Amino acid sequence: MRVWELRRAFELDALEAGDRPAPEPCRGEVVLKMRAASLNYRDTLVVHGAYGPRNTLPLIPVSDGVGEVVAVGDGVTRAAVGDRVCPMFFQSWLGGPPSQAKFAASLGGPLDGVLCEFMRVAEDGIAKVPAHLSDAEAACLPCAALTAWRAVIGQGRVRPGDVVVVQGTGGVALFAVQFAKLAGARVIVLSSTDEKLARARDLGADETINYRSTPGWDMAVKDLTGGEGCDHLVELGGADTLERSIRATRIGGTISLIGVLSGAAAAIALPLIVMRHLRLQGITVGSRDDFEAMARAIDRHQLRPIVDRVFAFGQVPAAFAAFEAERPFGKLSIRIG
Ligand SMILES: NC(=O)c1ccc[n+]([C@@H]2O[C@H](COP(=O)([O-])OP(=O)(O)OC[C@H]3O[C@@H](n4cnc5c(N)ncnc54)[C@H](OP(=O)(O)O)[C@@H]3O)[C@@H](O)[C@H]2O)c1
């Protein structure tokens, strides 16, 4: 079968098309014919060797994808041939709170990822996807959507009427916008371009702020909220944004710490957090139970992931290059097969 893999080094130029034997399912396993993948910021870090000290070569990168069950091993009860499923980002986090053991087995590093024609996974490590989604859309769910789901709904518990601020218009961000709207929140989106902000308003954002032309966006959020600040903030920027995020959030509000796009270390005046009674919650994707709850909501509300562009399987390096250069609105997907 055809795969894309890193064989000689962790760098984009070393991402090469290869051949591996097609897998057969063992007891308790299924084989998926992969139909689509989608890129996350993490995948670019993995390819550049900047993520996951336990990652080893050769490695098939990319965590998020969708496939059809084409073979089942003995004893399989959770899946049947023909089911369309996503392999879970964390193969061993089935439910309950996270733990070191549940974090150990993630796809696209250290485990092989989804850029392959066929994939062998434990039946426990998959979940069905809503029927109304295209393959390119369904491929976006395991990491980007689930992270946003837990930030806003699972852990965030956003309620109708809450004010939610979302940073950017990338993959996690637009799912956060969609889930916050689903919960009945008033959503404020930050972006670097007015064109993307207009698209965010089309998606349901109630208010928008250009964080380039309004670098004091924390004050703008306060102005929009009667001086109080937002109830919940989805923090993706990291070093350059965290302090403003703290100032933009109301006393007693919540910040979901998800990304570190501008850097991983920030010097913060801690009394800002103490005196404002803030809750800072770290979010790292989610469990299979979380995924199934999210998939039910997506199905019930016929919500559709925002896919900016779809590449062919032969264009994987071009897809990575575009992801890094173009800052897509939402997701980039790759058709497989
Ligand atoms: N903890 C987890 O489990 C988890 C899961 C998924 C992702 N992440 C992390 O979350 C971050 C986003 O991932 P992604 O895959 O959604 O990335 P992405 O699709 O590449 O989105 C990046 C977007 O973030 C916005 N952005 C960049 N710098 C910003 C800043 N200084 N202030 C505000 N917005 C900024 C930009 O939006 P505009 O172009 O609109 O300006 C950019 O398009 C990454 O750091 C990733 O590693 C963490």
Query: What's the per-residue H, E or C state across the chain?
Result: CEEEEECCCCCHHHEEEEECCCCCCCCCEEEEEEEEEECCHHHHHHHCCCCCCCCCCCECCCCEEEEEEEEECCCCCCCCCCCEEEECCECCCCCCCCCHHHHCCEECCCECCCCECEEEEEHHHEEECCCCCCHHHHCCHHHHHHHHHHHHHHCCCCCCCCEEEEECCCHHHHHHHHHHHHCCCEEEEEECCHHHHHHHHHHCCCEEEECCCCCCHHHHHHHHCCCCCEEEEEECCCCCCHHHHHHHEEEEEEEEECCCCCCCCCCCCCHHHHHCCCEEEECCCCCHHHHHHHHHHHHHCCCCCCEEEEECHHHHHHHHHHHHHHCCCCEEEEECC
Q: Which atom of ligand 1 is nearest to the CA of 331?
A: 19
Cα of 34 from ligand 1 centre, angstroms: 26
Pick the closest to residue 203 from 172, 234, 181 (CA basis): 181
Q: Which atom of ligand 1 is nearest to the CA of 172?
A: 16
Q: Which atom of ligand 1 is nearest to the CA of 330?
A: 19
pLDDT number for residue 186: 98
| CB of 211 closer than 6 angstroms to any ligand 1 atom | yes
pLDDT number for residue 337: 82
Question: How far is it, in rounded angstroms, from Cα 33 to Cα 8?
Answer: 26
> Could you give the angle at which helices 171-182 and 194-203 cross, rounded to 10 degrees?
30
Residue type, 134: S
| CB of 143 closer than 6 angstroms to any ligand 1 atom | yes
pLDDT tens, 289-317? 999 999 999 999 999 999 999 999 999 99
CB distance 254 to 273 below 8 Å: no
pLDDT number for residue 53: 80
**Residue nearest ligand 1's atom 24 by CA:** 168
Q: Which atom of ligand 1 is nearest to the CA of 327?
A: 43
Domain boundaries, the chain: 2-144+286-335, 156-282
Cα of 11 from ligand 1 centre, angstroms: 21
Cα of 235 from ligand 1 centre, angstroms: 9
| CB of 326 closer than 6 angstroms to any ligand 1 atom | no
Q: pLDDT 10s digit of each residue in the chain, 337 long? A: 999 999 999 999 999 999 999 999 999 999 999 999 999 999 999 999 999 888 999 999 999 999 999 999 999 999 999 999 999 999 999 999 999 999 999 999 999 999 999 999 999 999 999 999 999 999 999 999 999 999 999 999 999 999 999 999 999 999 999 999 999 999 999 999 999 999 999 999 999 999 999 999 999 999 999 999 999 999 999 999 999 999 999 999 999 999 999 999 999 999 999 999 999 999 999 999 999 999 999 999 999 999 999 999 999 999 999 999 999 999 999 999 8
Cα of 287 from ligand 1 centre, angstroms: 21
pLDDT number for residue 155: 96
pLDDT number for residue 267: 93
Question: How far is it, in rounded angstroms, from Cα 2 to Cα 20?
Answer: 7
| CB of 327 closer than 6 angstroms to any ligand 1 atom | yes
Q: What CATH superfamily classification does 156-282 receive?
A: NAD(P)-binding Rossmann-like Domain (3.40.50.720)
Question: How far is it, in rounded angstroms, from Cα 317 to Cα 47?
Answer: 10
Q: Which token pair is 14?
A: 């070393």
CB distance 234 to 163 below 8 Å: no
Burial of 312 (0-12, 13-18, 19+ CB in 10 A): exposed
Cα of 29 from ligand 1 centre, angstroms: 34
Cα of 332 from ligand 1 centre, angstroms: 13
Architecture of domain 2-144+286-335: Alpha-Beta Complex (3.90)
pLDDT number for residue 54: 83
Q: Which atom of ligand 1 is nearest to the CA of 144?
A: 6
| CB of 145 closer than 6 angstroms to any ligand 1 atom | no
Q: Which atom of ligand 1 is nearest to the CA of 173?
A: 16
pLDDT number for residue 29: 98
Question: How far is it, in rounded angstroms, from Cα 123 to Cα 326?
Answer: 36
| CB of 144 closer than 6 angstroms to any ligand 1 atom | yes
**Residue nearest ligand 1's atom 37 by CA:** 168
